[in-house]
Amino acid sequence: MNPAKTGDTAIIDLTIRDSQGRPVLTTNARIFNTSYENGEVVWYTNPLTMAVNSTSTEMISPLPVYRYDYGEASFALFGDELSQISSALEGMKQGGSEKIVFENTDQLKRDMTPEQFAQMGGNSTTAVPGDQLLLAFTTTPLLNMDDNSTPQYALRTSVITGKTSENVTVDYGYPSADLSIVRLNRA
C-alpha cells in the first residue's frame, strides 16, 4: 500500500503522554484500563479521523473523552498539536506506527503562587512533583458583557513539575505521542 499523502484521510489510534511518560489521552482500551487502574489521570477517546498534513486553525479542538470516575467530558487538544499529528501522518502506511515529538512544549508551563493554586482547587502544602491535576481551558471566544451564553470548557491533564515555598510549577504540555494508521482513505 502506498504511503499517506496530503489530502488523504486517516483513521488513527493515538496515545499522548505527559512529561513523566504517562498516557493522558488514548484510543487504546488496554492502555486506558491499565493506566486508570494505576491511578493515572488518563482519558479514553474513539479513534480519530483526520486529514493528512492539514493545519488546524483552532486554538483548542475539544475531543469527546471518557473516564470511569468522571464520565463524559471534552479534552483540550491544542491546534498546534493537532497540526503536528496530521503532519506526521504523511508518509506513513496503513498499519504503520510512529512516535512523534511535539515541538514548543517548553512554553506550556505555568508558575502559580500557593494562592493561585488554591483558587484552582489545589493544595500547595500536599502537592508534590509528579502529581497530576486537571486544568480547564475555555473553548469559546471571549464573551462580551451582553452575551448570555455559557462558556464551554475542555480539560487537560497536567503535571506538577516543581514546587517551592513561593510557587507551584504546572506543566500542561505533552512531549510525545504514539500514533498508528488504522485505515487510510485515498483522496
Asked if 35 contacts 23 with a C-beta cutoff of 8 angstroms, the reply is yes
pTM: 0.92
Asked if 50 contacts 88 with a C-beta cutoff of 8 angstroms, the reply is no
Alpha-carbon gap, residue 75 to 122, rounded angstroms? 20
Report helix, strand or coil for 86: helix
- For the stretch 9-48, pLDDT in tens is 999 999 999 999 999 999 999 999 999 999 999 999 999 9
CATH architecture for segment(s) 9-107+172-185: Roll (3.10)
Location of C-alpha cell 502506498? 2
Task: Please enumerate in sequence order all residues whose Cβ is within 8 A of that of 32, keeping only pairs 6 or more positions apart, or say none.
Answer: 23, 26, 42, 43, 44
pLDDT on residue 60: 94
- The residues of the chain that CATH labels 3.10.50.40 are 9-107+172-185
